[in-house]
Structures are given as structure tokens and as C-alpha cells.
Amino acid sequence: MSATVIPPSVHGIEEHRLNSGAISIMEQLNTAGYDAYLVGGGVRDFLLGKIPKDFDIATNATPEQVTDIFRRARIVGRRFQIVHVRVGPEVFEVTTFRAGHEGHKGSDAIQNEAGMLTRDNIWGSVEEDAKRRDFTLNALYYNHKDRSVYDFVGAWEDVKAKRLRIIGDPETRYREDPVRMLRAIRFMGKLPLTIDEKTELPIIDHGHLLSEVSSSRLFDEVLKLLQAGHGADTFELLWEFGLFQTMFPEASAILEAQQDSTYWDLIEQALENTDARIQSGRTVNPAFLYACLLWPAAHQRFKQYLQSGMEPTEAMAKAGAITVDANATTVAIPRRFAQVTREIWEMQLRLPNTQTRRALSLLRNPRFRAAYDFLLLREQSQEIDPGLGRWWTDFQVENPDVKPEREIHTREERPRKRRRQYRK
């Protein structure tokens, strides 16, 4: 298949605006006799008027050949082998051109019974690689040697129309990798795109395929979706297409059954706040995001345990532990974040105690700020009456020298805290 070649005078990408590290990698691959292209978001975002964050390179060099060229490089992944090449402080992904897996049997291309590719390491040509990519907008190849963009799948027309279109048969491609449905939502949430009808229609009917994806991988995908500066819009799209319900079944059931919009408002406000933080260059702790997303399930469990006569502290600890564990079948929160999520919830019971000595002790707690922010969200969503948040705001102003203590334990020094195990 011949490529449509878009010259610099048409595509408008100015090379001096590209990442110098990515250009250096392409030059070294070219010098070694290999083809190399900038591909994916590094090309797509420029053409759509956005500033790219990622600059990925595709080449006909195999992973082993790439590591022979670059001293600071290592092969990562088994399902989809890539090479991480470090240039200065930055790490770039270098992938080898891939071919279709059809007709290939053996350890390099494996599908499970649902049609999902569990391994995809069949090397091919740049033309074959373009067909293997998910969306046309991600299949534009920038050639540093002639500074042209190469299009093998009709992507240039989609760029001009600002249209999101999957490559190949949508249902087959979603079965091969269900995360492609999440990527479609992510692009729609962050870019000014309309989605092609054939790309859109199968998503609602195939959301259940996400259950084939590892729960740890979905944890990372949720962060990409909701912590990229467009979380509020993306959340609404996830809900509209039924994908949030697949990943967070308990919380979703409560959101759907709730008579008022309390929990919904809390999540939306949290995501709007998160978007503002990210767009202003500040960081966001994933534990806080998950504390908000799972709060409907944790809070309902907490209230049930209280009604059964359980003491509040134990009720919250048990509700938190079981909620996090229950959702791990779909989205597994790493232990280091899950513990913080539970502590944010548990501190909601301590914040109402405003006796001065206890209040000062809470101010020094490393989790105070997150718990305080969560309290404000509960007030803003009208889950609880206002007032306590204002008290804590004033108390911080009155005690400006009291700061949260940092956790300074090293891995070896950190005390092992055995948490109580709860039965479901």
C-alpha cells in the first residue's frame, strides 16, 4: 500500500518545536541504517493544534537492535515489547514496526478465547504497522529525513475533519484490546473530536470486554482518563458509554439508585478540582481520586455497619477494607495508594473532634490535607451540613506554623503495620 505524503508546507509541523531527544533518537537510528518515524501523540497533537506530551518513535530495528545502538536503553513488556531509551532525564518509547497476527501461530502472537491479544510481537513493515495501530489519528508517521508526514490509512482526511476513527473492523479491534474503547473516550474527552459512527456504536455493547483486562492495567488506564486535565468531561463520557459501570460496579449501582445527586455531585466536583490542579501544573494523588470514586460504596457499607450496632471507627475501617478489596476484581488499587484512600475515609470520623490538642495533632497528620479536602467535597455536595470545613479552614489560618509531618521512613525502617482483615 502506497502512502500519502504530506509535505511540511501542508502539515505545518515545525521541527524546531519537536522534542530534541526524539529527534536525536531518530537520527541515530537513521545513521545505523534503520528507518525511524515520530508517531502517535507527538504527531497527532501537533496537527490538532495541541502541545504534545509524548514523543514516541517507530522503527524497523528490532528491540535487540535498538538496545545495541543506545547505551541507556532497556526492553520492557512481554505482551507488547517496547524499548525505553533515556536521553538526559527523559525516557522515550521506541517500538518496532508490527505486522498483523493473522496466520501467525506461536509465542509471538497469542489470543485468548474472547479474541483479546495477550501477546503481539510480530515484526513487519511501516505499512503493516500503520494498519495495526488503533485509530487513524495515531497512524501518522513523521519522517525526520524529509520532514514529511506519511499516511497509510486515510488519517489526513480525519485530521482535517477532526474525526476519531478506528482502523479496521471496530468489534474485532475492541476484542483484540478492550482498552481501545477507553482510549476512544480519552481522546474524545481531551481533543476537539467527533467520533465516527462505526467506531462509536460497538462501545456500549462491548464494555463487558474490559473484564478481560488485568485489574492492575485498568488502574493505570483510569489515571490516564481522569488525571489528564479533562477528567470531568471524560467521566461523563465513561458513564454515557457504560464503561465506568463495568470498572466500578458497586459505586455505579449506588449512583444509579440514589434518590438525590449527592455522590454524583461529589465525584464531579472532585474531578473539576483535579482538572484545575493539573492545568495549573500541580500534582494529584491517585489515592484521593479513588477515595472519591469508591466513596458511594464505602459510605453505604459504613452506614449499614452502624445500623447493625458496630462502633463507628471499626465500621469505617471494615467498610473501607471491603470496598477496596471488592473493586480489585475490576480495578486494583496498589497497596500504597489503597492504604491512603482508606485513611482519608477513616479521618472523616476524627475531623469533627475540634478539641484544640486533638485538632493540632490532626494538622500534623500527613493525610490531613487530603482528608480536609475530602471533607469540603462532602459539604459542597450536601452530603453533610456545612460548617466543619470552615472551622478547619480558620484553624489552619490561626496555626500557620503547624504543618503535616512528612513520612520519612525508608523501606527498611518503615514499621510494619498489620491491618485487621475483614470478612465480606
Q: Which residues pair with 142 in a beta bridge?
A: 38, 149
Residue with the three cell numbers 464503561:
243
Active site residue 169: no
> Which CA distances in Å does 135 have to 39, 101, 138, 154, 377?
12, 18, 5, 11, 37
Active site residue 35: no
For 72, the 3-state DSSP assignment is coil
* CA 375 – CA 390 distance, rounded (Å): 10
Residue 100 φ then ψ, to 5°: -65, 150
Residue 322 φ then ψ, to 5°: -70, -35
**Angle between the 388-398 and 356-363 helix axes, to the nearest 10 degrees?**
80
Which cell numbers hold the place of 339?
492504604
Handedness of CA 277, 279, 281, 285 (dihedral sign): positive
Which residue is catalytic, options 45, 120, 134, 158?
A: 134
* CA 412 – CA 424 distance, rounded (Å): 32
Active site residue 134: yes
Pick the closest to residue 139 from 81, 8, 13, 128 (CA basis).
128
Residue 305's CB: how many other CB atoms inside 10 A? 19
Active-site annotation, residues: 54, 56, 134
